[in-house]
A and B are shown apart, each in its own frame.
Chain A
Amino acid sequence: MSTRVLTLSRKIVLFFRKPKVEKTLKVAGAVLKWVFFVFIIFLLYLPIFIIALQSFNNSQLMYDFTTFTFKWYGMIFQERSLSQSIINSLVIAVTATIISTVLGTVFAIGIHSLTKKKRQKMVLLNQVPILNADIVTGISLMLVFKLLMYIFPDIFGFTTMLLAHIFFCLPYVVLSILPKLSELDENLYDAALDLYCKPTTGILKVIIPSISSGIFTGMLMAFTMSIDDFVISYFNTGQGFDNVSIWIYASIGRQMSPAVYAYNTAFSFLMILVLVIISVKGSLKKRKNLLKFKQNKI
């Protein structure tokens, strides 16, 4: 019995070892791999396509596609509460991104300069807002801001939301810059000082340009996190200062104006466009440099 099983399994193994079979399996595996990959991307983007579909739907009903229209795109700034929340979202995201990029760069340089043990402790502390559940972060900040209300009674609203966004954006900037700093030649800053830069000029003229890709990544992360945040904003707003997420949350279960789908689609599209322009510009510059280099060599 067992010998029969053994010979059978040997036969199976041998079958799969045949070059033709092996090759077919390999091709099938590769195809399957990419089908899986594309399917997952499809799933990730499916909700986005549906939002786009809804934005072109003439009917207000969520489940009924009647005819194609662009009218909701024109309505984005017609509806006061929505357009105000869009403006709020953008103002908060842009301001928080700028502030946390600048401060995050400074802090990252500081953290990088610490001794190993202190640096690891700072990195751990820096991780708190990233790892912490949004709801706990949101409530924690709210509690502190409530205390501040004794001094600044009108703090809830724009100020608290901005501070909260800076709080959770900063760590992403710091974390994207730190690895770039450790890639740098450890004497780079000394070299700047050696060549007559004062400490601040040294950082501005040498360190910052050398880590610019990390700063850009951090900026992108900060903006993305800020624009998509709901929970933390939800707990740290006041006086009717709503961002888009809060506006949507308040409309759930009710009839939502399709203009929000139009806004969401237009925003995603614009961001992708900006990204494409930046990357095309970057690759053009790279190609130009390469060409220059080749010419020099000749």
Chain B
Amino acid sequence: MNIKKLGKLVLPYLVWMSVLVGLPLLMMVVLTFLKSNALDLGTAEFSFDSWRILFSDVTVRIALKNSFVNGIIATIICFVIGYPIAYIVANSNFSNKLIILVLTIIPMWSNSLLRNNAIANILSERSIVNDVLSNIGLNFIWPIRGVVYESGFSPAVVIGLVLTYLPFMILPIYTVLEKIDKSLLEASMDLGSNKIKTFFKVTFPLSIKGVTTGIIMVFLPSFSGFAIPKILGSGSLVFIGTLIDSRFMNRNYNFGSLLSLVILLIIFGSMALIFKVDKEGETLI
């Protein structure tokens, strides 16, 4: 293509992204060292309060623990379910496009909050499913909504996270699996590896970049969300997102920014990882 001439089309995007990504980052960093009423700089004063609270407050520690425990469990389950599903689709004879659409896009046309609300319904002591099933003599009660173990693990929240974010695990893994040259597998078998060995020595290593993307795309929203814990954890379960939300709503932008930066730190790590394995971003869609 006529390279240099079209390259300048990127310029507005670069400006747009710099303003909307770079500027707020700067603002957040500054805000963590202030004590201010929202963004009102007139009454703002220099303060290390936010940093002190971060390292001393018990709520912060509990929220981080809850976020990590539930986020990691949800991510592991998504991987354990998502990889085989992606593998089955990539190797099926059906129209893959249609299956992928059914697995990933269509569920999202149903509001995710409403879907989690429905999950909460099933996992409550009185659920509409049980009510319908009892008419035909069946009984299904699994009232785990609101159950939280000491570790912070909440089965209901994890179920909600898995069912909401599973598509984000399936899609990138499917994308890489589908691109693997089938002759590589034949070559591996030809060179004496059986099916299982071929999978672990060829297929899986080649799909690592999809797996990396999938894990990050599931873990980050699971870790940082606040709506799902609110719906399925019955409000008692505090996540890091819950704290950020409440701080910003209470006009305490300082501590809210600091907590956001904590999440950003994890995100930058993830992005560095993705950039390493997938420079062209082909697994993100």
Contact = CB atoms under 8 A, between A and B. Distances in A.
A268 to B, nearest CB: 5
Determine the main DSSP class of B at the interface with A.
helix
B5 A110 contact: no
Given A48-B115, A110-B13, A249-B113, A143 B39 contact: yes
Interface residues of B, number: 95
A71 to B, nearest CB: 17
Contacts of B166: 40, 44
A240 to B, nearest CB: 16
Contacts of A112: 1, 6
B255 interface: no
Contact of A44 (B5, B101, B103, B285): B103
Contact of B270 (A46, A131, A140): A131
Residue of A114, A167, A190 with most partner-chain B CB within 10 A = A114
A277 interface: no
Contacts of A125: 14, 17, 21
A132 interface: yes
Contacts of B244: 135, 139
Given A120-B280, A135-B224, A140 B25 contact: yes
Nearest to B134: A65
B217 to A, nearest CB: 7
A102 interface: no
A63 B13 contact: no
Contact of B117 (A106, A135, A248): A248
B178 interface: no
A129 B271 CA distance: 11
Contacts of A141: 20, 24
A28 to B, nearest CB: 16
A188 interface: yes
Contact of B274 (A127, A142, A264): A127
A153 interface: no
Contacts of B111: 228, 244-245, 248, 264
A118 B85 CA distance: 35
Contact of A48 (B88, B107, B281): B107
B53 interface: no
Given A40-B85, A188-B1, A272-B106, A107 B271 contact: no
A47 B270 contact: no
Given A51-B115, A224-B105, A245-B113, A139 B7 contact: no
A113 B1 contact: yes
Interface string A21-61: 00000000000010011001101111110110110010000
B131 A64 contact: yes
A132 B253 CA distance: 19
B226 interface: yes
A65 B128 CA distance: 6
B128 A46 contact: no
A113 B19 CA distance: 23
A33 B270 contact: no
A217 interface: yes
Nearest to A132: B267
B37 interface: no
A140 to B, nearest CB: 3
Interface string A230-249: 11000100000000110011
Contact of B264 (A44, A118, A134, A136): A136
A221 interface: yes
Given A44-B103, A51-B114, A131-B267, A140 B24 contact: yes
A136 B189 CA distance: 47
Contacts of A135: 224-226, 241, 244-245, 260, 263
Interface stretch (B54-62, B119-127, B147-155, B203-211): B119-127
Contact of A136 (B163, B167, B224, B282): B224
B281 A123 contact: yes
Interface stretch (A4-12, A76-84, A170-178, A284-292): A170-178
Going nearest first, the 6 A-B pairs with the smallest beta carbon separation are: A110-B9, A140-B24, A133-B224, A113-B6, A110-B10, A63-B126
Interface of B: 1-14, 16-17, 19-21, 23-25, 27-28, 38-39, 81, 84-85, 88, 98, 101-103, 105-119, 121-122, 124, 126-132, 163, 166-167, 216-217, 220-221, 223-227, 230-231, 235, 241, 244-245, 248, 253, 256-257, 260, 263-264, 267, 270-271, 274-275, 279-282, 284-285
Given A47-B114, A175-B284, 7 more contacts: A41-B103, A114-B3, A120-B279, A125-B21, A228-B108, A245-B112, A248-B111
